[in-house]
Amino acid sequence: MKTFTLPGTDMVVPNVVLGLMRIQTMTDEAVRTLVNTARDAGITFLDHADVYGSDDHGCERRFAEALKLSSSEREQFVIQSKAGIVKDGPYFDFSHNHIIESVNGSLQALGTDYLDILLLHRPDALVEPEEVARAFDELSAAGKVRAFGVSNQTPRQLDLLRKHVTQPIVANQLQLSITHAPMIAQGVAANMQGLDQSVVRDDGIVDYCRLHDITIQAWSPFQAGFFDGPFLGSERFPELNAVIDRLSSKYGVPAEAIAVAWITRHPAQMQVVLGTTTPERVTAAALGSDIPLTRSEWYELFRAAGYTVP
Ligand SMILES: NC(=O)c1ccc[n+]([C@@H]2O[C@H](COP(=O)([O-])OP(=O)(O)OC[C@H]3O[C@@H](n4cnc5c(N)ncnc54)[C@H](OP(=O)(O)O)[C@@H]3O)[C@@H](O)[C@H]2O)c1
């Protein structure tokens, strides 16, 4: 497993992460097997959110009840969680009180004294960045959160936050798979008239994150689009799956590893956030951590997914 020091922190992290959004209905034994399989493959970074599960903090609680980590076991993991979505509504809330309450709820549900990283989950139109800064300062001073980041944010939203927040913003978690790659595909086809791919949807977030040492974490790396099922093995993507199968044979790895490698091969040094609940798929995906796809292979996958290379 490829690891690196997460810029803005002293944490050495793997470039493949286990997301725990889908564990609510799993048994203790199944959750333990999933997390232990990930750990054995070098995936020691876990992604949670207060809203994952059927009730608030449901998946965080399910994880803690199943794993019952001792404090030394807990220290072997980087545990990240998120705040800012209110499910009943739904709406977004980056107010000081909501952030503090959410983190306290996460700590209680996870049975830990600290989060390694807290992300603001989705942009709040009513954000008051001074309030976010006050919440981050309090959480940092109390030792409850070691580092801070965001998710689904644009460069200008980040600029606004960074004007007020004193801690470095270390991560931006964004949707990215071979078939859902507008933030990469736009730059490849900049300024092309009449081509949808050319439309700027994110204000250049990939380059912004690279310029500011903000690590991109790719969520839904296997989903074709927004939670509409995986592209692997899907008859909607025959050409892409043919290329993936050929590269799987060439590198001697399962298809999941090629899907992961398309992201880890990008020089922005991204992390891939897996959501599978199947231990075998975690092992397979982990093999994509450091596959040296050539430029030509990387672009072939990109074209086979339907993107234009002008
Ligand atoms: N920041 C955000 O806004 C945001 C949004 C969504 C998710 N996330 C994070 O990202 C993580 C990943 O999201 P995701 O679960 O949508 O991503 P994903 O890894 O792309 O999708 C996993 C889902 O695809 C299924 N699947 C079917 N065939 C598969 C295959 N061959 N390989 C892998 N999975 C296959 C899995 O089923 P099985 O479980 O049966 O294997 C599972 O239901 C979440 O756990 C969460 O931590 C963040």
Residue spans of the domains in the chain: they are 3-304
SS3 label, residue 195: coil
Burial of 171 (0-12, 13-18, 19+ CB in 10 A): buried
CA count, 13 A, side-chain hemisphere, 168: 13
Calculate the average pLDDT of the chain. 98
Mean pLDDT of the 206-232 span: 98
SS3 label, residue 293: coil
SS3 label, residue 194: coil
The CB of 152 under 6 Å from ligand 1? The reply is yes
The CB of 230 under 6 Å from ligand 1? The reply is yes
pLDDT of residue 93: 98
In the numeric block, the tokens 């927004």 are attached to 226
Looking from the CA of residue 173, the nearest atom of ligand 1 is 1
Q: How confident is the model at residue 81 (pLDDT cuts 50, 70, 90)?
A: very high
Distance, in Å, from the CA atom of 78 to the CA atom of 76, rounded to the nearest integer, reads 7
What's the Cα-to-Cα distance from 204 to each of 103, 153, 211, 250, rounded to whole Å? 30, 11, 11, 34
Please choose from 16, 22, 26 the residue to mutate so as to test ligand 1's pocket, defined by most ligand atoms within 8 A of CB. Answer: 22
Please choose from 50, 51, 273, 287 the residue to mutate so as to test ligand 1's pocket, defined by most ligand atoms within 8 A of CB. Answer: 273
CA of 163 to the centre of ligand 1 (A): 33
The one-character DSSP state at 307 is -
Q: Can you give the pTM of this predicted structure?
A: 0.98
Looking from the CA of residue 22, the nearest atom of ligand 1 is 45
Mean pLDDT of the 104-132 span: 98
Report the CATH architecture of 3-304. Answer: Alpha-Beta Barrel (3.20)
Percent of the chain residues past pLDDT 70, beyond the cut? 100
The CB of 179 under 6 Å from ligand 1? The reply is no
Q: How confident is the model at residue 57 (pLDDT cuts 50, 70, 90)?
A: very high
pLDDT of residue 290: 96
CA of 17 to the centre of ligand 1 (A): 11
CA of 281 to the centre of ligand 1 (A): 11
The CB of 222 under 6 Å from ligand 1? The reply is yes
Contact residues for 267 (Cβ-Cβ < 8 A; gap 6+): none
Q: How confident is the model at residue 21 (pLDDT cuts 50, 70, 90)?
A: very high
pLDDT of residue 142: 98
pLDDT of residue 243: 98
The CB of 19 under 6 Å from ligand 1? The reply is yes
Mean pLDDT of the 55-70 span: 97
Q: How confident is the model at residue 310 (pLDDT cuts 50, 70, 90)?
A: very high
What tens digit of pLDDT does each residue of 175-196 get?
A: 999 999 999 999 999 999 999 9
If you count them, how many residues does the chain have?
Answer: 310
| Residue identifier of the C-alpha nearest atom 34 of ligand 1 | 276
| Residue identifier of the C-alpha nearest atom 42 of ligand 1 | 276
What tens digit of pLDDT does each residue of 275-297 get?
A: 999 999 999 999 999 999 999 99
4 closest CA partner among 213, 167, 255, 169: 213
Asked if the peptide bond before residue 279 counts as cis, ω within 30 degrees of 0, the response is no
CA of 221 to the centre of ligand 1 (A): 7
The one-character DSSP state at 275 is -
Q: How confident is the model at residue 171 (pLDDT cuts 50, 70, 90)?
A: very high
The CB of 220 under 6 Å from ligand 1? The reply is yes
pLDDT of residue 120: 99
pLDDT of residue 285: 98
The CB of 217 under 6 Å from ligand 1? The reply is no
How far does the chain reach from its first CA to its final CA, in angstroms? 35
CA of 48 to the centre of ligand 1 (A): 13
Mean pLDDT of the 227-242 span: 97
Please choose from 276, 280, 281, 282 the residue to mutate so as to test ligand 1's pocket, defined by most ligand atoms within 8 A of CB. Answer: 276
CA of 22 to the centre of ligand 1 (A): 8
Mean pLDDT of the 91-116 span: 98
